[in-house]
Protein backbone atom coordinates (compact mmCIF):
# COMPACT_ATOMS: atom_id res chain seq x y z
CA UNK A 1 0.00 0.00 0.00
CA UNK A 2 3.05 2.26 -0.10
CA UNK A 3 2.22 3.52 -3.58
CA UNK A 4 -1.28 4.31 -2.35
CA UNK A 5 -0.02 6.45 0.52
CA UNK A 6 2.25 8.45 -1.75
CA UNK A 7 -0.23 9.02 -4.54
CA UNK A 8 -3.76 7.75 -4.89
CA UNK A 9 -4.80 8.37 -1.31
CA UNK A 10 -3.98 12.07 -1.27
CA UNK A 11 -7.00 12.77 -3.35
CA UNK A 12 -8.51 16.18 -3.00
CA UNK A 13 -6.46 19.34 -3.02
CA UNK A 14 -8.46 22.57 -2.75
CA UNK A 15 -6.57 25.85 -2.71
CA UNK A 16 -8.43 28.97 -1.60
CA UNK A 17 -6.54 32.18 -2.23
CA UNK A 18 -7.18 35.89 -2.16
CA UNK A 19 -4.29 38.22 -2.86
CA UNK A 20 -1.30 36.92 -0.91
CA UNK A 21 -3.44 34.84 1.50
CA UNK A 22 -3.63 31.14 0.73
CA UNK A 23 -5.05 28.08 2.46
CA UNK A 24 -5.11 24.58 1.07
CA UNK A 25 -7.20 21.55 2.06
CA UNK A 26 -6.07 18.03 1.25
CA UNK A 27 -8.20 14.95 1.78
CA UNK A 28 -6.71 11.54 2.67
CA UNK A 29 -8.91 8.49 2.18
CA UNK A 30 -6.97 6.08 4.37
CA UNK A 31 -8.27 5.66 7.92
CA UNK A 32 -6.53 6.97 11.04
CA UNK A 33 -7.66 7.83 14.57
CA UNK A 34 -7.94 11.55 15.33
CA UNK A 35 -4.57 11.85 17.07
CA UNK A 36 -2.67 9.97 14.37
CA UNK A 37 -4.37 12.03 11.66
CA UNK A 38 -3.33 15.22 13.46
CA UNK A 39 0.26 13.96 13.78
CA UNK A 40 0.45 13.09 10.09
CA UNK A 41 -0.83 16.53 9.06
CA UNK A 42 1.67 18.22 11.37
CA UNK A 43 4.51 16.05 10.08
CA UNK A 44 4.15 17.88 6.77
CA UNK A 45 3.87 21.37 8.32
CA UNK A 46 0.08 21.46 8.30
CA UNK A 47 -2.68 20.54 10.73
CA UNK A 48 -6.08 18.92 10.79
CA UNK A 49 -8.49 21.15 8.91
CA UNK A 50 -10.08 24.24 10.40
CA UNK A 51 -13.32 25.21 8.66
CA UNK A 52 -13.79 28.98 8.64
CA UNK A 53 -17.00 29.43 6.66
CA UNK A 54 -19.57 27.68 4.49
CA UNK A 55 -17.66 28.26 1.21
CA UNK A 56 -14.72 26.38 2.76
CA UNK A 57 -17.01 23.48 3.56
CA UNK A 58 -18.69 23.57 0.16
CA UNK A 59 -15.31 23.32 -1.56
CA UNK A 60 -14.62 19.88 -0.07
CA UNK A 61 -15.40 16.91 -2.33
CA UNK A 62 -15.30 13.84 -0.09
CA UNK A 63 -16.35 10.89 -2.20
CA UNK A 64 -13.40 8.49 -2.06
CA UNK A 65 -12.56 5.89 0.59
CA UNK A 66 -11.17 2.38 0.96
CA UNK A 67 -13.19 -0.74 1.85
CA UNK A 68 -12.28 -4.27 2.78
CA UNK A 69 -13.15 -7.02 0.33
CA UNK A 70 -12.98 -10.73 1.11
CA UNK A 71 -9.73 -11.21 -0.78
CA UNK A 72 -6.78 -12.31 1.38
CA UNK A 73 -3.51 -14.25 1.25
CA UNK A 74 -3.95 -17.92 2.21
CA UNK A 75 -1.12 -19.89 3.84
CA UNK A 76 -2.83 -23.17 2.86
CA UNK A 77 -2.34 -22.41 -0.83
CA UNK A 78 1.27 -21.28 -0.66
CA UNK A 79 0.39 -17.64 0.12
CA UNK A 80 -1.79 -17.25 -2.96
CA UNK A 81 -4.50 -14.60 -2.94
CA UNK A 82 -7.91 -16.22 -2.59
CA UNK A 83 -11.51 -15.27 -2.00
CA UNK A 84 -13.08 -16.62 1.19
CA UNK A 85 -14.82 -19.36 -0.81
CA UNK A 86 -11.36 -20.71 -1.68
CA UNK A 87 -11.28 -19.49 -5.29
CA UNK A 88 -7.80 -18.33 -6.30
CA UNK A 89 -7.72 -14.73 -7.51
CA UNK A 90 -6.23 -14.23 -10.98
CA UNK A 91 -4.78 -10.82 -10.10
CA UNK A 92 -6.28 -8.75 -12.91
CA UNK A 93 -7.33 -5.73 -10.84
CA UNK A 94 -4.31 -4.86 -8.66
CA UNK A 95 -3.11 -1.28 -8.71
CA UNK A 96 0.44 -0.77 -10.05
CA UNK A 97 3.14 -2.13 -7.70
CA UNK A 98 0.54 -3.92 -5.56
CA UNK A 99 0.32 -5.92 -3.41
CA UNK A 100 3.29 -5.47 -1.08
CA UNK A 101 4.70 -8.84 0.04
CA UNK A 102 4.17 -7.91 3.70
CA UNK A 103 0.42 -7.31 3.32
CA UNK A 104 -2.08 -10.14 3.60
CA UNK A 105 -5.53 -8.55 3.08
CA UNK A 106 -7.03 -6.44 0.33
CA UNK A 107 -9.03 -3.24 0.05
CA UNK A 108 -10.56 -1.61 -2.96
CA UNK A 109 -10.28 2.15 -3.55
CA UNK A 110 -13.48 3.92 -4.50
CA UNK A 111 -11.34 6.38 -6.46
CA UNK A 112 -10.16 4.00 -9.14
CA UNK A 113 -11.78 0.60 -8.41
CA UNK A 114 -8.32 -0.92 -7.99
CA UNK A 115 -7.20 -3.41 -5.35
CA UNK A 116 -4.49 -2.57 -2.81
CA UNK A 117 -2.78 -4.71 -0.22
CA UNK A 118 -3.18 -3.68 3.41
CA UNK A 119 -2.18 -5.23 6.71
CA UNK A 120 -5.11 -7.26 8.02
CA UNK A 121 -4.73 -5.28 11.28
CA UNK A 122 -5.20 -1.99 9.47
CA UNK A 123 -8.53 -0.15 9.35
CA UNK A 124 -11.00 0.42 6.55
CA UNK A 125 -14.71 0.62 5.88
CA UNK A 126 -16.30 -2.41 4.25
CA UNK A 127 -18.90 -3.65 1.81
CA UNK A 128 -20.92 -6.68 2.82
CA UNK A 129 -22.66 -8.78 0.19
CA UNK A 130 -25.83 -10.82 0.38
CA UNK A 131 -25.15 -13.36 -2.33
CA UNK A 132 -28.75 -14.60 -2.46
CA UNK A 133 -30.14 -11.10 -3.01
CA UNK A 134 -27.14 -9.88 -5.02
CA UNK A 135 -27.14 -6.78 -2.81
CA UNK A 136 -24.27 -4.78 -1.28
CA UNK A 137 -24.31 -3.05 2.10
CA UNK A 138 -21.85 -0.25 2.81
CA UNK A 139 -20.57 -0.28 6.42
CA UNK A 140 -19.18 3.15 7.42
CA UNK A 141 -17.59 1.75 10.56
CA UNK A 142 -13.82 1.38 10.42
CA UNK A 143 -12.70 -2.15 11.36
CA UNK A 144 -9.85 -4.60 10.86
CA UNK A 145 -10.30 -7.22 8.14
CA UNK A 146 -11.32 -9.98 10.55
CA UNK A 147 -13.74 -7.66 12.38
CA UNK A 148 -15.30 -6.64 9.08
CA UNK A 149 -15.56 -10.26 7.97
CA UNK A 150 -17.26 -11.23 11.24
CA UNK A 151 -19.63 -8.26 11.05
CA UNK A 152 -20.70 -9.19 7.54
CA UNK A 153 -21.18 -12.86 8.40
CA UNK A 154 -23.27 -11.98 11.46
CA UNK A 155 -25.55 -9.57 9.62
CA UNK A 156 -25.51 -9.91 5.84
CA UNK A 157 -23.58 -12.83 4.43
CA UNK A 158 -19.93 -12.12 3.68
CA UNK A 159 -17.43 -9.46 2.76
CA UNK A 160 -18.07 -8.39 -0.81
CA UNK A 161 -16.48 -9.91 -3.87
CA UNK A 162 -16.19 -7.38 -6.68
CA UNK A 163 -15.34 -7.69 -10.32
CA UNK A 164 -15.38 -5.25 -13.22
CA UNK A 165 -19.02 -6.02 -13.93
CA UNK A 166 -20.43 -5.09 -10.51
CA UNK A 167 -18.44 -1.99 -9.50
CA UNK A 168 -20.35 0.67 -11.37
CA UNK A 169 -22.26 3.41 -9.62
CA UNK A 170 -22.17 2.40 -5.96
CA UNK A 171 -18.83 3.77 -4.80
CA UNK A 172 -18.97 7.60 -5.04
CA UNK A 173 -22.32 8.02 -3.29
CA UNK A 174 -21.79 6.60 0.19
CA UNK A 175 -22.00 8.61 3.41
CA UNK A 176 -19.22 8.26 5.98
CA UNK A 177 -17.39 10.33 8.66
CA UNK A 178 -14.27 12.38 7.91
CA UNK A 179 -12.06 13.88 10.63
CA UNK A 180 -11.58 17.65 10.93
CA UNK A 181 -9.60 19.54 13.57
CA UNK A 182 -12.39 20.35 16.01
CA UNK A 183 -12.18 18.60 19.37
CA UNK A 184 -13.33 19.02 22.94
CA UNK A 185 -10.64 20.62 25.13
CA UNK A 186 -11.80 20.51 28.72
CA UNK A 187 -15.34 21.86 28.66
CA UNK A 188 -15.10 23.78 25.38
CA UNK A 189 -14.61 23.09 21.68
CA UNK A 190 -11.25 24.00 20.13
CA UNK A 191 -9.68 23.65 16.71
CA UNK A 192 -6.36 21.88 16.31
CA UNK A 193 -5.08 25.09 14.71
CA UNK A 194 -6.63 28.52 14.49
CA UNK A 195 -9.87 30.01 15.76
CA UNK A 196 -13.21 29.67 14.01
CA UNK A 197 -16.84 30.10 14.99
CA UNK A 198 -18.05 27.82 12.21
CA UNK A 199 -20.55 25.21 13.32
CA UNK A 200 -22.98 23.17 11.30
CA UNK A 201 -23.98 20.25 13.51
CA UNK A 202 -26.14 17.27 12.71
CA UNK A 203 -29.48 17.27 14.55
CA UNK A 204 -29.01 16.28 18.25
CA UNK A 205 -25.32 17.24 18.03
CA UNK A 206 -22.99 17.99 19.68
CA UNK A 207 -23.53 15.02 21.94
CA UNK A 208 -21.56 13.14 24.58
CA UNK A 209 -20.60 10.39 22.12
CA UNK A 210 -17.00 11.53 22.03
CA UNK A 211 -14.54 14.40 22.16
CA UNK A 212 -13.52 14.65 18.48
CA UNK A 213 -15.51 15.87 15.50
CA UNK A 214 -16.11 14.51 12.03
CA UNK A 215 -18.06 15.84 9.07
CA UNK A 216 -20.31 13.72 6.89
CA UNK A 217 -18.95 13.08 3.42
CA UNK A 218 -22.27 13.96 1.79
CA UNK A 219 -24.14 16.20 4.25
CA UNK A 220 -21.00 18.05 5.46
CA UNK A 221 -22.66 18.31 8.90
CA UNK A 222 -20.57 17.86 12.03
CA UNK A 223 -20.91 15.07 14.60
CA UNK A 224 -19.06 14.00 17.74
CA UNK A 225 -17.06 10.79 17.59
CA UNK A 226 -14.85 8.67 19.80
CA UNK A 227 -11.33 10.00 19.13
CA UNK A 228 -10.05 6.43 18.81
CA UNK A 229 -12.27 5.69 15.80
CA UNK A 230 -10.50 5.42 12.43
CA UNK A 231 -11.73 7.64 9.60
CA UNK A 232 -10.40 9.44 6.52
CA UNK A 233 -9.27 12.98 7.30
CA UNK A 234 -8.60 16.44 5.93
CA UNK A 235 -5.33 18.32 6.41
CA UNK A 236 -4.95 22.05 5.93
CA UNK A 237 -1.95 24.16 5.02
CA UNK A 238 -1.92 27.95 5.41
CA UNK A 239 0.67 30.50 4.35
CA UNK A 240 0.05 32.76 7.37
CA UNK A 241 2.19 32.76 10.50
CA UNK A 242 1.07 34.63 13.61
CA UNK A 243 4.11 35.61 15.68
CA UNK A 244 3.11 36.03 19.32
CA UNK A 245 5.99 38.33 20.18
CA UNK A 246 5.65 42.07 20.73
CA UNK A 247 7.89 44.00 18.37
CA UNK A 248 7.98 47.40 16.75
CA UNK A 249 6.81 47.57 13.13
CA UNK A 250 10.34 47.65 11.74
CA UNK A 251 11.46 44.80 14.00
CA UNK A 252 8.47 42.77 12.84
CA UNK A 253 9.36 43.44 9.19
CA UNK A 254 12.95 42.33 9.76
CA UNK A 255 11.80 39.24 11.67
CA UNK A 256 9.50 38.07 8.85
CA UNK A 257 12.07 38.64 6.13
CA UNK A 258 14.72 36.71 8.06
CA UNK A 259 12.56 33.60 8.33
CA UNK A 260 13.47 30.54 6.27
CA UNK A 261 11.73 27.25 5.53
CA UNK A 262 13.31 23.92 6.40
CA UNK A 263 11.07 22.26 3.78
CA UNK A 264 11.71 24.55 0.79
CA UNK A 265 14.68 26.90 0.70
CA UNK A 266 13.09 28.89 -2.14
CA UNK A 267 10.23 30.14 0.05
CA UNK A 268 10.33 33.72 1.27
CA UNK A 269 8.50 35.54 4.10
CA UNK A 270 7.24 39.07 4.55
CA UNK A 271 4.89 41.12 6.73
CA UNK A 272 1.35 40.41 5.61
CA UNK A 273 -0.40 42.53 3.03
CA UNK A 274 -4.15 42.08 3.49
CA UNK A 275 -7.10 43.42 1.49
CA UNK A 276 -10.66 44.17 2.66
CA UNK A 277 -13.48 41.64 2.29
CA UNK A 278 -13.18 37.88 2.51
CA UNK A 279 -9.41 38.06 2.86
CA UNK A 280 -9.57 40.22 5.99
CA UNK A 281 -12.35 38.10 7.51
CA UNK A 282 -10.09 35.06 7.24
CA UNK A 283 -7.15 37.02 8.70
CA UNK A 284 -9.34 38.17 11.59
CA UNK A 285 -9.83 34.53 12.59
CA UNK A 286 -6.06 34.18 12.81
CA UNK A 287 -5.39 37.32 14.85
CA UNK A 288 -7.94 36.36 17.51
CA UNK A 289 -5.17 34.06 18.77
CA UNK A 290 -2.77 37.00 19.26
CA UNK A 291 -1.52 38.08 22.66
CA UNK A 292 -1.89 41.76 21.76
CA UNK A 293 -5.10 43.66 21.00
CA UNK A 294 -3.71 44.74 17.65
CA UNK A 295 -1.45 43.02 15.12
CA UNK A 296 1.04 44.64 12.74
CA UNK A 297 0.58 44.28 8.98
CA UNK A 298 2.89 45.27 6.14
CA UNK A 299 1.16 48.64 5.65
CA UNK A 300 3.20 51.84 6.02
CA UNK A 301 2.99 55.52 5.07
CA UNK A 302 5.87 56.66 2.87
CA UNK A 303 6.42 59.70 0.62
CA UNK A 304 2.88 60.92 1.15
CA UNK A 305 0.97 57.69 0.49
CA UNK A 306 0.02 54.39 2.11
CA UNK A 307 1.90 51.42 0.67
CA UNK A 308 2.10 47.67 1.22
CA UNK A 309 5.65 46.42 1.66
CA UNK A 310 5.15 43.90 -1.17
CA UNK A 311 3.96 46.55 -3.64
CA UNK A 312 0.28 45.54 -3.78
CA UNK A 313 -2.34 48.26 -4.20
CA UNK A 314 -3.91 49.57 -0.98
CA UNK A 315 -7.69 49.12 -1.30
CA UNK A 316 -8.71 50.53 2.08
CA UNK A 317 -10.44 53.91 1.65
CA UNK A 318 -10.74 55.05 5.28
CA UNK A 319 -7.05 55.47 6.07
CA UNK A 320 -6.03 59.02 7.06
CA UNK A 321 -4.73 61.01 4.11
CA UNK A 322 -2.28 62.81 6.37
CA UNK A 323 -1.66 60.64 9.44
CA UNK A 324 -0.33 62.13 12.65
CA UNK A 325 3.42 62.26 13.09
CA UNK A 326 4.89 58.77 13.64
CA UNK A 327 1.50 57.07 13.10
CA UNK A 328 2.78 55.75 9.80
CA UNK A 329 2.29 52.00 10.25
CA UNK A 330 -0.83 49.87 9.78
CA UNK A 331 -2.33 47.44 12.28
CA UNK A 332 -5.47 45.32 12.52
CA UNK A 333 -7.51 45.48 15.72
CA UNK A 334 -9.29 42.47 17.17
CA UNK A 335 -12.32 44.67 17.85
CA UNK A 336 -12.66 46.27 14.37
CA UNK A 337 -13.21 43.75 11.61
CA UNK A 338 -13.34 45.87 8.45
CA UNK A 339 -10.55 48.45 8.60
CA UNK A 340 -6.89 49.06 9.35
CA UNK A 341 -5.63 51.47 11.98
CA UNK A 342 -2.77 53.96 11.69
CA UNK A 343 -0.43 53.48 14.65
CA UNK A 344 2.91 54.68 15.99
CA UNK A 345 5.53 52.44 14.38
CA UNK A 346 7.39 52.13 17.69
CA UNK A 347 4.45 50.50 19.46
CA UNK A 348 5.07 46.83 20.20
CA UNK A 349 2.57 44.27 18.92
CA UNK A 350 2.23 40.73 17.65
CA UNK A 351 2.38 40.49 13.85
CA UNK A 352 1.51 38.36 10.84
CA UNK A 353 4.04 37.00 8.37
CA UNK A 354 3.14 35.22 5.17
CA UNK A 355 5.10 32.85 2.99
CA UNK A 356 5.35 33.07 -0.81
Sign of CA dihedral 80, 82, 88, 89: negative
Q: Are residues 107 and 27 in the same domain?
A: no
What is the band of 166 on the pLDDT scale with cuts at 50, 70, 90?
low
- Boundary of a domain, candidates 113, 134, 159: 159
- Range 345-353 average pLDDT: 97
Q: Are residues 283 and 192 in the same domain?
A: no
Q: Given its phi and psi angles, is residue 186 left (phi above 0), alpha (psi -120 to 50 degrees) or beta?
A: left
Q: Are residues 59 and 178 in the same domain?
A: yes
- Boundary of a domain, candidates 103, 132, 159: 159
- Boundary of a domain, candidates 188, 211, 238: 238
What is the band of 146 on the pLDDT scale with cuts at 50, 70, 90?
very high
Q: In angstroms, how far apart are the furthest CA atoms of the chain? A: 86
Residue 225 lies in a domain: yes
Give the C-alpha separation, 174 to 280, whole Å: 36
Q: Are residues 36 and 155 in the same domain?
A: no
The residue segments making up the domain with residue 33 are 2-63+174-238
Residue 129 lies in a domain: yes
With 0-12 CB in 10 A as exposed, 13-18 as middle and 19+ as buried, what is 15? exposed
Distances (CA, A) of 336 to 254, 258, 284, 313: 26, 30, 9, 21
Q: Are residues 44 and 124 in the same domain?
A: no
Q: Are residues 234 and 144 in the same domain?
A: no
- Range 318-346 average pLDDT: 92
What is the band of 16 on the pLDDT scale with cuts at 50, 70, 90?
low
- Would you say how long the chain is, in residues? 356
Residue 312 lies in a domain: yes
Q: In 10 A of CB 158, how many CB atoms?
A: 16
Q: Are residues 181 and 59 in the same domain?
A: yes
Residue 168 lies in a domain: no
Residue 301 lies in a domain: yes
Q: Are residues 135 and 32 in the same domain?
A: no
pLDDT given at position 11: 52
Q: Are residues 106 and 155 in the same domain?
A: yes
What is the band of 18 on the pLDDT scale with cuts at 50, 70, 90?
low
Q: What does the mean pLDDT of the chain come to? A: 90
Give the C-alpha separation, 240 to 298, whole Å: 13
pLDDT digits (tens, 9 = 90+) for 183-235: 999 889 999 998 898 999 999 999 998 999 999 999 999 999 999 999 999 99
Lowest mean pLDDT among 74-83, 164-173, 315-324: 164-173
3 has a pLDDT exceeding 60? no
pLDDT digits (tens, 9 = 90+) for 274-306: 888 877 878 888 899 999 999 999 999 999 999
With 0-12 CB in 10 A as exposed, 13-18 as middle and 19+ as buried, what is 211? middle
Nearest CA to 35 out of 186, 236, 229 is that of: 229
Residue 169 lies in a domain: no
Residue 166 lies in a domain: no
Nearest CA to 194 out of 21, 350, 47 is that of: 47
Q: Are residues 146 and 42 in the same domain?
A: no
Amino acid sequence: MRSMLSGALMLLIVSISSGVVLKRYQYFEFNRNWSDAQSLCRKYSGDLATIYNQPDMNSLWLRWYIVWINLHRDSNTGQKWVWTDGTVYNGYNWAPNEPDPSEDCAVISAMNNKYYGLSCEGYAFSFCENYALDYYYFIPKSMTWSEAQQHCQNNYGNLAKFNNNNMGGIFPYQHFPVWIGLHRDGGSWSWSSGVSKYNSWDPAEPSSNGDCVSIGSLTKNMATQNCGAHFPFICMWENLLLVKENKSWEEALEFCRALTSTVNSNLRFDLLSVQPGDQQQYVMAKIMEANSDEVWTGLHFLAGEWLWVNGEDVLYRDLPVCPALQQHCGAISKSISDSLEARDCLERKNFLCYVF
